[in-house]
Amino acid sequence: MNVSTFLLMGLDKVRAKLDSGRIPEVWFFVISVAGGVVGVVLGMFAFHHKTSKTSFQAKIALAAVLSVVMLFVLGLMP
C-alpha cells in the first residue's frame, strides 16, 4: 500500500508540473486511512510535493490518527 501511495505522489507531482489532470486530495486521504500514510509522507518529502500546503498536511495527520485508531478497533494493535 505504501509503495503504491508513494508512486501516486510522484505521479501527481509530474502531473502538477505538466499542468495535466491531477489526483484529488481526497484520494490521498482515503488511501492514507487505509494504510498508506507512510507512502504519502515519504512521497511528500522525496518529491517535494505538497510540503508547503498546511491543509493537506493536517488532513494526512488526521488520516494517520484514524489509521492507528482503526488498528486498535480491529484488534490488530495491542
- Whether residue 76 is predicted with pLDDT greater than 90 in this model: the reply is no
pLDDT (0 to 100) of residue 8: 95
SS3 label, residue 11: helix
**Single-letter amino acid, residue 67:** S
pLDDT (0 to 100) of residue 75: 84
Rounded mean pLDDT of the chain? 93
pLDDT digit string (tens) for 19-44?
A: 999 999 999 999 999 999 999 999 99
Domain ranges of the chain: 2-73
Using DSSP, how many helices (H) and how many strands (E) does the chain show?
Answer: 4, 0
Distance of alpha carbon 71 from alpha carbon 15, whole angstroms: 33
Q: Of 66 and 76, which is predicted with more confidence? A: 66
pLDDT (0 to 100) of residue 77: 76
